[in-house]
Amino acid sequence: PVMQVGRVRPGAPPEHDVLHPVGGGLGQARPTNNIGIHGRTHGLTSLRRQVLTWTPPERSTLPLMQTPFSNRQCFPPSARIPHSWRLRSALARALLPLLLGTLTPGVSSAPSRVHDLSLLVSPKLPCVWPVGMMPHSVTPVMTFGPGAYHRDLIAIDEHTGTQWDAPAHFVPPPDSGLPGAGPMGLVTSEKVPAWQFCGEACVIDVTPQRDQATNGGSFLITPSLVQAWEQKHRPLGFGDAVLFRSGYSDRYYQAFPGGERFVQTALRKQTPGWPAPVADTMTYLGSRGVKMLGLDGASMGPLPDLAVATHQAGGKLGMIWTECLTGLGPLPSTGAFHAFLPAKHAGGSGGECRALAITEPRLAARLIKSAREKRVADLSVTLDEDLPVTWPGHGPGEEAPRYIAKTLNPFSKLRGPYFARTHLMDAQVGTHVVPPSFSLPPQGFKNSQYSAEVRNTLAEYERLHGPRRFSDLTVEKLPLESMMGEARVIDVSSLTGTTQPKDWPASPAITVEHLAADESRHGPIRPGDVVLFRSGYTDRHFATLPELPQVDRLMAAPLSGTAEGWPSPTLEAIEYLARKGVRCVGTDAPNLGGANPKKALMLYWLAASRGVLPVEFLTNLKSIPEKGAYFIFAPIKIAGARGGYGRAIALY
């Protein structure tokens, strides 16, 4: 991370000088003449033209240090600092480590050791099962000029990349008359409780057996192998997430044509498959109370012909599991917190997800305890064709792509004994994060390409807040820890009804004064806190779409100016939170910007430029305390997407 001194706005008095983060995966350079630290910069590839791109720090030659909040590497006080800094050198030396730690996205109360266990989803990679499924794609449907935003249409099967199986994936419904049918065949994606997505990672290493199978076959993980692990470590039980580590995806998940080795050559019986458990192992784990599994192979089912038996043995016991994990090597045998956060598809067989682990001992123990006690709140709306999950726009031509769900196979005799679906949707469907690249155009974009209306808004924005930045930070580049941290829930429900119909479309304003009042009651907002605005708006208005000519109350009515919008922070409030070291702000409303299109655009530009990630369309915030919960949002890891749909939870 690189710090520079800048003003809150051009012309602000000196007492308003603040330190702004540059880089750290999110922040954009402020429009001052004091540009960072000279020479080679740690974690940044370029400071030219105020465009920043995050790169891993392994090759950095600068001296490094640990901040008191995180194991992230930062500049020590001895690093060369330009004289143009407005702070006195002694004060800078004293405060720099603290400020670097607290103003960087994803530090302070965010976890100090977060592991992304998810594969990158891309058409260039073997992310889709090569039989009976649909190809994945990201298609731009709207981009910068004449409009101000970039939107993507996502085509993705539920079982793409790192993904999970709900019981209904292989267990037929009880009235189907099919082999293995039972009540668990009715448990589709949205019906699985959020606590079952979390637990203590219990890593069973089968790496030596990874390729010890015949071509087209799998090494079989038997109950005796699990029992040997228990003898060495401890008995397994409820709240454990049993993860089978073979290193299979680490080694074989690669770009085509080499990526054929991941699944295709195994199905062709040219190479061995991945290690996977037999049905008796699933039964044994179920008898121990285990409800959550995972492995870094392509499927929980062993090749060539045991997949159905394994899936049904676990599914009928209500077990769920992730497939296609990666990066399990650094996890300890026990003690790490593990979670996977799936897209919340209604009626799904499972779905694409983002998997992670936290290995910082104190935080991991706290989250594991919450998971074992089922104190996990689901904060995401359900994705369904008949629900208002897609942005309708302020007028024709501005609507985001519709959410479409299509069943590929309903236990058909033509395709096999399983259930699976595919989806078309906007990259920001339902509960989502807004990457900087949604509103900040890429380097090289000319402002003259904007419409006259957008150019006028830009002129006003830059007069008040400085130049709008550029960004190439798509969703897969966002650090997971930047969307995690101690939840600071701020109740703004009292703002409902405070606007006048003559001013619509408009949203009640969450001001700096509201934030200061909350701090006076509950203590200061801390660096790294995830601020969540609780208005109850989604809880009240998220309902089935009405019949025409009626419009839904959630989004369409406020955007058309026939109803009040949802509470939304002012730009000054976002500036205030950014100076406090907040790097993620969530809302239980459709967006953070509000119902007025001009104000919303300016807010997105400002948040992206200040390194603040909006997480929008939350729900159920009433289920968590104002302080004391831990918030996690994880978007699906799709290469090149400028929107980040995913899942939000809180452990308390």
Tell me: the pLDDT tens digits for 458-477?
999 999 999 999 999 999 99
What pLDDT digit, counting tens, does each position of 212-239 carry?
Answer: 999 999 999 999 999 999 999 999 999 9
pLDDT value of position 528: 97
pLDDT (tens digit per residue) in 147-164: 999 999 999 999 999 999
Predicted confidence (pLDDT) at residue 593 exceeds the cutoff of 50:
yes
Nearest to 82 by CA among 29, 26, 5: 5
Provide the CB-side half-sphere exposure for 237 (13 A, CA).
Answer: 5
> What amino acid is encoded at 513 in this protein?
E
At 57-78, the pLDDT tens digits run 332 222 222 222 233 333 333 3
Statement: residue 44 has pLDDT above 80? no
- pLDDT beyond 90 at 111: no
The pLDDT of 557-567, averaged and rounded, is: 97
pLDDT at 542: 99
**b/e sequence 476-491, b meaning 16+ C-beta within 10 Å:** bbbbbbbbbbbbbbbb
Q: Does domain 428-651 have CATH number 3.90.220.20?
A: no
Question: For residues 68 and 242, which has the higher predicted lDDT (pLDDT)?
Answer: 242
Q: How far apart are CA 82 and CA 582, in angstroms?
A: 26
Whether the per-residue pLDDT at 46 is higher than 80: the answer is: no
SS3 425: strand
Q: What is the pLDDT averaged over residues 503-512?
A: 98
- On whether the CB atoms of residues 323 and 296 are closer than 8 A, the answer is no
96, pLDDT greater than 60: no
Q: Using CA atoms in the order 510, 511, 515, 520, what is the torsion angle rounded to 10 degrees?
A: -120
CA distance 202 to 204: 6
Average pLDDT, the chain: 87
What pLDDT, on the 0 to 100 scale, is given for residue 88? 38
Q: What is the pLDDT of residue 396?
A: 87
The owner of tokens 């997949």 is 307
| pLDDT reading at 56 higher than 80 | no
Which residue type does 14 have? P
Residue 395 has a pLDDT of 84
By the 8 A CB rule, do 426 and 401 touch? yes
- Write out pLDDT tens, residues 601-629: 999 999 999 999 999 999 999 999 999 99
| CATH 3.50.30.50 intervals, the chain | 116-121+161-374, 428-651
**pLDDT over 90 (residue 21):** no
Letter for the amino acid at 347?
G
What is the second-level CATH architecture of the domain 116-121+161-374?
Answer: 3-Layer(bba) Sandwich (3.50)
pTM: 0.85
| Higher-pLDDT residue of 407, 53 | 407
What is the model's pLDDT at position 442? 98
Q: What percent of the chain lies above the pLDDT cut of 70?
A: 83
Which residues touch 157 (CB under 8 Å, ≥6 apart)?
128, 129, 133, 134, 136, 352, 408, 420, 421, 422, 423
